[in-house]
Amino acid sequence: MIQNMGHSPKLFLFGMIFLFSATINAQSDNQHILSGNLQLTGNFFIRDSIIDADKTPQYDHQLYGAESWLQLNYSGYGFDVGVRFDAFHNSNLLNRQESYSAQGIGRWYIKKKIKELGISAGFLYDQIGSGIIFRAFEDRTLLIDNALTGLRLTYDLGENWTAKAFTGRQKRQFELYPAIIKGAAIDGFIAPKELEEGKTNWSLAPGFGIVNRTIDDVTMMQVTGALGSYLPQDSITPTYNNYAMSLYNTLTYGDFSWYVEGALKSKDVVFNPFLERVTQTGQTVLGKLVSEGGSVLYTSLSFSKKGFGANVEFKRTENFTLRTDPFALLTQGQINFLPPMSRVNTYRLTARYAPATQELGEQAFQIDLRYNPTRKLGFNVNFSNITRLDGELLYREAYTEVVYKYKRKWNLTGGIQFQNYNQDIYENKPGVPIVEALTPYVEFLYKFDRKKSLRTEFQYMNTDEDFGSWVFGLAEFSVAPNWIFTISDMYNLDDKKTAPHHYPRVDVTYIRNANRFGLSFIKQVEGIVCTGGICRLEPAFSGVRLNVSSTF
């Protein structure tokens, strides 16, 4: 059951903001600062059944969808106050196969510092350590906004130590999950006095955190109701409370930095979509509720010297699903954040297959090496490998990059990427083979003068799986500081599902001061969209997109 947030806090906040702003004669002076930003996206859908851009309300009859966020922030009289208005009209961000329309106050907050004590109330973004046991954050690309709606206290324990405690409920669009989340953490910094004098070069940044989630009676009734249909061998005893704790530290010594975090969680009711169970009628179904504890070990070691940098990461995850509701799936109801273990690629084809973090179990490592022998020349090599705990391959990538800069006239970037990608696990496509893709790419930037430049890209993906091989080309002409014109095309050489098809895109961007306007015509193939290891499968898109962003 999801409870409504009510309107009284919103009206109170609006009144306070307008009361404060009425005293401001200018946007910013020595005492008062009023700022904000706007982000708006409008999609005009054009049906194209050839690329499977159809069979949703937007393509069938609505034809238009939009999302917008307007944020206002005020600082004055020792307070920080903010409010954000969100609007979704025929949006397909929440569910790509459905339409979502709603509007209202998406966030408000009040913050005050009283000597060592910090007080925050409202919709709060925060995390403990790297986020493994708790992270409240926002990602508009995937419509993730799991702000903690409640109260947070912080206290400075001397110059280098801080303690914090919080309690609240997690946001779900314009409502709240009923589960109560509370937690505490302490973070510090340890270094000898000689560090300030430059006589030593080591320091420690330790921390410890704990989080508790208590599910509500209605959710517990739903859990026991579902378990009532289980056979005795699959039955479990659900608990209201779940606990997770983590211990973390960053050691810095000269050119080295080593971060390590270990986390444990108590037994908790979670849904495992990969386990089979037998129903009372004798049928075998996939997916069942289980009660298991979990653990995560994550560490990264980096080294940086003039002209050379290296970073090595390792992570082992076992049964570490932390959600407000055991029935919440995909990006909904996530309390924590597990660091991704693959390179964040930017080119269209190198980023086509990206691995989502596996909460139930994965073992992964990643190595990244960078070498710049001169200012003109640079090399980057990255290798990542992700498997299940039993050794089954989930993802493997080898990536190389070479950058050459000729004076200030032109830049050339090129390299090769090799990938193994388990579509069965990442995209829930049972029986399909692991994608093996080889992708060479090249980018060339030429500067005609201080204002005008031309950037081109060319990429080729060779694979026999999924849709087959691809070729991609792009040309982008920029006239600083106002205009950017981009045209690109992605062509399927041997589509395994339909006839070979073009996926063109044309973008016109206008920038004026802190305002940015973009108008695009897009045809986009079905694929994975990821942000920080959180991924989801996106259907094909066909239409016109308007983007507006402004900061004031």
pLDDT along the chain (552 residues), means of 10: 46 50 46 92 93 91 95 93 96 89 96 96 96 94 92 95 97 94 96 71 94 94 90 89 97 95 94 85 86 95 95 97 87 90 92 91 97 95 97 97 94 97 90 95 96 96 92 96 96 74 94 96 83 71 95 94
pLDDT of residue 391: 92
H or E segment to which residue 103 belongs: strand 100-114
DSSP category for residue 511: E
382 to each of 2, 406, 416, how far by Cα in Å?
44, 25, 11
Distance CA 177, CA 324 (A): 7
Q: Is residue 419 a part of any domain in this protein?
A: no
Residue 38 resides in a domain? yes
Tell me, what's the pLDDT at 533? Answer: 60
Which CA distances in Å does 378 have to 306, 372, 398, 405, 441? 12, 4, 17, 9, 16
- The β-bridge relationship of strands 435-447 and 452-461 is antiparallel
Task: Tell me the whole-structure pTM to 2 decimals.
Answer: 0.89
- Which residues of 279-406 form beta strands (DSSP E)? 284-305, 308-318, 361-371, 377-387, 393-406
Residue 249 lies in a domain: no
pLDDT reported for residue 14: 53
The pLDDT of residue 72:
96
41, part of any domain: yes
Residue 68 forms part of a structural domain: yes
Backbone angles phi, psi at 369, to 5 degrees: -125, 135
For residue 518, what pLDDT is reported?
Answer: 96
Distance set, CA 159 to CA 20, 114, 191, 231 (Å) = 33, 16, 12, 57
Give a yes or no: residue 213 inside a domain: no
R_g (Cα) of the chain, nearest Å: 25
Nearest to 466 by CA among 419, 404, 396: 419
In a domain, 111, yes or no: no
Length of the chain: 552
Domain span including residue 27: 1-96
Q: Tell me, yes or no, whether 127 lies in a domain.
A: no
Total domains, the chain? 1
Q: Positive or negative, the Cα torsion across 422, 423, 424, 426? A: positive
